[in-house]
Amino acid sequence: MNSIWRFLVLWIIYLRVLSDGASRPALVNIGSIFTFDTINGKVAKIAMDAAVEDVNADPNVLVGSKLVITPCDVNFSGFLGIIGALKFMETDTVAIIGPQNSVMAHVLSHLANELQVPMLSFTATDPTLSALQYPFFVQTSPSDSFQMAAIAEMVSHYSWREVIAVFTDDDHGRNGIGALGDKLAERRCRISHKVPLPADPDIKRDEITDALIKVGLMESRVIVLHTYNRSGIIFLPRICNQCKEFSHCVRTHLIHQGKKLSSLDGSELSNGSIGLNTFGLYAYDTVWIIAHAVEVFFDQGGNISFSNDTNLNNVQGGALHLEAMSVFDGGDRLMNNIMNINMTGLTGQVRYNSERSLIQPAFDIINVIGTGYRQIGYWSNYSGLSVVSPEILYTKPANRSSSSQKLHSVIWPGETPTTPRGWVFPNNGKQLTIGVPYRVGFREFVSQVKGTDTVKGFCIDVFLAAINLLPYGLPYKFVPYGDGRKNPNYDELVRMITTNDFDAVVGDVAIVTNRTKIVDFTQPFIESGLVVVAPVRKLNSNPWAFLRPFTPMMWAVTAIFFLVVGAVVWVLEHRMNDEFRGPPKQQVVTILCLEVELLHVLSTPKMVYQGSVSLFLIGKLDLYAKKLDFFWFSFSTLFFAHRENTISTLGRLVLIIWLFVVLIINSSYTASLTSILTVQQLSSPIKGIESLVSGTAPIGYQTGSFAINYMIEELNIPKWRLVELGSPEEFAKALESGKVAAVVDELPYVDLFLSNQCKFAIIGPEFTKSGWGFAFPRDSPLAVDMSTAILTLSENGDLQRIHDKWLMRRACTSQSTELESDRLHLSSFWGLFLICGVACFLALLVYLIMMIRKFYRHYPKESNPSSQGSSRSARLQTFLSFVDEKAERGRSKRKYSVDEERGDESRIASKRKQTETSPDSHENGIAHTNQQLT
């Protein structure tokens, strides 16, 4: 039974094979369009023939059919390429390999779209050919967009910012350089100049020489050459001899698969004329792509059939037989199979992404050394620049961080390991025209020597020192800008760079926002910022100087709290402390003496220590009070040793908080008074830019400065308040006469002005931050090189020496430019006063509750409705008397409390009488307790 089933299965398979073979054509026709008289054409033809032989010899591919390639040699002619493609369309051609260049590919792609015949090319690498405009065109090698991305990343890796693009002026060259420009822009680089080459295959050497002369006149020394072999063979030797900068190239990275061309051992390529290159490998794989796609097409049940194109029915083509051209019915399906291909060829994995580009494109980075070369790294679309091969990186997560972008060391032209700058000032370049401000005031910064063209000053010396550090010569000439009667407008001076009147501006030019939008500045060579200058007067010492540390409000609140705290302590201590009893005059004196002693002790550390000892010897008869004495002693020993001893817990709590407040106030007062009496103070009615903005006084500014625009636009100061001043002398005169209340100017000018003007000072801090720099056109490499030179001057100390030479003055250096120190205001201490006030209130509240509780326990409420009004008044008087009466301490007090609890009225009255007749009993008890403690 099993044998029968096996026979049936085999019979079905046999019938399926026979039916497939019957439905498949004997021949699958493919066309190829190339110029076979070129290196790439010769290699491609040999490789494609070898691939066809291998495909036909493989029993697993195109079973029952044979692949046939019909070549068409166009001999560099686009017209012949069109004719050849039309001839292929007259026959049953399912695909075309080619054309060889991108220009012809753009034309023939329209024909492929019309007749739905897939066109595959491994040499037409124009990035725009992958657009949706060409749905039947396939690039079987990496597009130029990936190659340009690799070049752009190398340019950025070596910190170059500009390149010169030399290219063949056709679709292939222009679109490739367009892709390069886009990739450079992503990395904030750019193409500074484009040098086109004729697209004529018979390009002349003179035309190459003319292009090289153009390159030699340009500043950039990074040249990207994008052309064909025939032009490159002529151009490269000349550029290597002239520019001395040819060093790198990129080469398509191929993954070695260990696969061998069974029908091609290389003997045909090793005849002394050509060798198997990258395009030969891609040609071989392209044939296999078509073979696998056709195989899948047949497995899907597809038939190779053609139908007439209705658009060509009325076209009489003569010998061309245009009406014979037909549409490939299965073109869409075959094209879809090509896009879904997943095979491993001689060039590695062949697979396409959704953008119809090969996945994982990669290039080798080659360091050319004379006639030899060495590989220094790789570039892949997956991980960028790396010294690790892409095959290894594909197994790891993608990493495009800047730290992972690495290449091996490079031997640059001249056999040096130092990376070239990529930019030089051309030897035959024109002389730079440098604008300098023709100043009237503050001539120490920039000035023109009368009767000569010589310019001098601090800014000029910095510029000359910087250009001396450049590794190339810089021809220049200074051109003063201004009429010599007043300082020029610096915004207009900088704007003249954009109109090509000046190639640069050197001088005291502030780096501000509106200027950075139109030019590039170097690194600042001096710090700057707007400050306020105003007249000041000295605050001499006087008999009332001791009042100056505190404001009047601070003095008033402090005095009030002294009285309030004293009164609170008196209330809390009055019933049980003999020292707080007696006539009202005596109690007022006691309170004031307590406060004075507190201040005295706080300022005398020795008495703090002695007071702590005397306080410790006070007897405590109440057990509960004794438990709290430890904390009381611990804190109070930090502060005082006054004569009046506090007894109640609430009184001590209030007093210790107040002592802390007094300690802070006393320390702050001492420090402030010391500063006032020992440091020279200056005073001005102007307190800073805020007081100027809120006031109505006139404000001076320097002619040509950006300060006027800043005050009008940013600070909203009306223009009628602003007074133009042209020189330091005008500054001083206007400030002394009151013409202006203050002057707003940049810090370097103000420092120089104050070096010999001791009646004025800077009020408040800088309210803007900027610096001075040299201005150059946008994207000028000189700005970068000069910035590096300025940093070098700063690091080696030359910049400071130039500053001291021109700007160091000592006429008023002994005078402090600091204004009067701020006095101590209530706002600095209100937190302490709040804590102390809250403590006083809570202590009084607790004390009042305790007194009410004791009063009701001692005097129960009498119920007599007939005399309710008089009873309330009498009871209030009784409560006040109760609060005012002397409370007993010690044993008698505890017995008294027990008697109260028992309600023995007679014994209570007896105790009171004994207390009143024996006023010294309490003092004797204290003495006895002190003796016991001693």
**Residue 645: band (very low, low, confident or very high) from pLDDT cuts 50, 70, 90:** low
Pairwise pLDDT comparison (522 vs 346), residue with the higher score: 522
Check whether 182 has a pLDDT greater than 70: yes
Query: Which whole number is the average pLDDT over 619-625?
Result: 35
**Residue 641: band (very low, low, confident or very high) from pLDDT cuts 50, 70, 90:** very low
What is the Cα–Cα distance from 650 to 577, expressed in whole angstroms?
Answer: 13
Max Cα-Cα span within the chain: 153
- Per residue in 535-580, pLDDT (tens digit) is 887 655 566 666 777 888 888 888 888 778 777 777 777 767 666 6
Pairwise pLDDT comparison (437 vs 275), residue with the higher score: 437
The tokens for 192 are 């500074």
Pairwise pLDDT comparison (171 vs 89), residue with the higher score: 171
- pLDDT value, residue 415: 80
**Residue 589: band (very low, low, confident or very high) from pLDDT cuts 50, 70, 90:** low
Pairwise pLDDT comparison (112 vs 571), residue with the higher score: 112
Check whether 66 has a pLDDT greater than 60: yes
Phi, psi of 608 (to 5 degrees): -60, -40
Query: Which whole number is the average pLDDT over 742-755?
Result: 90
DSSP string, 124-147: ---GGGGSTT-TTEEESS--HHHH
Check whether 356 has a pLDDT greater than 60: yes
- pLDDT value, residue 8: 54
- pLDDT value, residue 724: 92
Instruction: Judge whether 224 and 165 are in contact, CB under 8 Å.
Output: yes
Pairwise pLDDT comparison (11 vs 300), residue with the higher score: 300
Return the beta strands (E) in 461-612 as ranges. 476-481, 504-505, 520-521, 526-528, 530-535, 537-539
**Residue 865: band (very low, low, confident or very high) from pLDDT cuts 50, 70, 90:** low
Pairwise pLDDT comparison (89 vs 511), residue with the higher score: 511
Pairwise pLDDT comparison (219 vs 634), residue with the higher score: 219
**Residue 507: band (very low, low, confident or very high) from pLDDT cuts 50, 70, 90:** very high
Query: What's the count of helices (H) and strands (E) in the chain, helices before strands?
Result: 30, 32
Check whether 521 has a pLDDT greater than 80: yes
CB 163: neighbour CB atoms within 10 A?
A: 24
**Residue 637: band (very low, low, confident or very high) from pLDDT cuts 50, 70, 90:** very low
Decide: residue 1, CB within 10 A, 0-12 exposed, 13-18 middle, 19+ buried. exposed
Instruction: Judge whether 601 and 640 are in contact, CB under 8 Å.
Output: yes
**Residue 653: band (very low, low, confident or very high) from pLDDT cuts 50, 70, 90:** confident
CB 898: neighbour CB atoms within 10 A?
A: 11
In this prediction, what percent of the chain has a pLDDT beyond 70? 73
Pairwise pLDDT comparison (766 vs 6), residue with the higher score: 766
What is the Cα–Cα distance from 219 to 193, expressed in whole angstroms?
Answer: 10
What is the Cα–Cα distance from 99 to 879, expressed in whole angstroms?
Answer: 119
Question: Structure pTM?
Answer: 0.62
**Residue 903: band (very low, low, confident or very high) from pLDDT cuts 50, 70, 90:** very low
Pairwise pLDDT comparison (371 vs 768), residue with the higher score: 768
| Most confident region among 617-621, 657-661, 694-698 by mean pLDDT | 694-698
The tokens for 815 are 């005078």
- pLDDT value, residue 527: 92
Nearest by Cα to 680 from 559, 882, 821, 543: 821
Instruction: Judge whether 731 and 743 are in contact, CB under 8 Å.
Output: yes
Residues in the chain, overall count: 934
| Most confident region among 199-208, 674-683, 762-771 by mean pLDDT | 762-771
- Per residue in 69-83, pLDDT (tens digit) is 999 888 877 788 888
Q: Among all chains, which residue has been given the structure tokens 């103070």?
A: 681
Check whether 934 has a pLDDT greater than 50: no
Query: Which whole number is the average pLDDT over 273-299?
Result: 86
Check whether 255 has a pLDDT greater than 60: yes
Bridge-based pairing state of the strands 384-386 and 119-121: unpaired
Nearest by Cα to 101 from 69, 135, 129: 129
Check whether 418 has a pLDDT greater than 70: yes
- pLDDT value, residue 796: 92
Q: Among all chains, which residue has been given the structure tokens 């993954």?
A: 255
- pLDDT value, residue 610: 40
Decide: residue 428, CB within 10 A, 0-12 exposed, 13-18 middle, 19+ buried. exposed
- pLDDT value, residue 694: 86
- Per residue in 325-344, pLDDT (tens digit) is 788 889 999 999 999 999 98
The tokens for 455 are 């310019």
Range in 21-25, 304-308, 569-573 with the lowest mean pLDDT: 21-25
Check whether 599 has a pLDDT greater than 60: no
**Residue 828: band (very low, low, confident or very high) from pLDDT cuts 50, 70, 90:** low
933 sits in which H/E element: helix 921-933
| Most confident region among 59-63, 163-167, 326-330 by mean pLDDT | 163-167
Instruction: Judge whether 595 and 562 are in contact, CB under 8 Å.
Output: yes
- Per residue in 373-409, pLDDT (tens digit) is 889 999 998 889 999 988 888 888 888 888 888 999 9
Query: Does the N-terminal peptide bond of residue 471 adopt cis geometry, omega within 30 degrees of 0?
Result: no
Q: Kindly report the average pLDDT of the chain as a whole number.
A: 77
Residues 6+ apart with CB under 8 A from 870: none
- pLDDT value, residue 524: 94
**Contacts of the segment 128-134: beta carbons below 8 A, 24+ positions apart:** 128/171, 128/175, 129/102, 129/105, 130/355, 130/356, 130/357, 133/109, 134/109
- pLDDT value, residue 627: 38
Q: Among all chains, which residue has been given the structure tokens 């710090």?
A: 527
Range in 178-182, 802-806, 853-857, 918-922 with the lowest mean pLDDT: 918-922
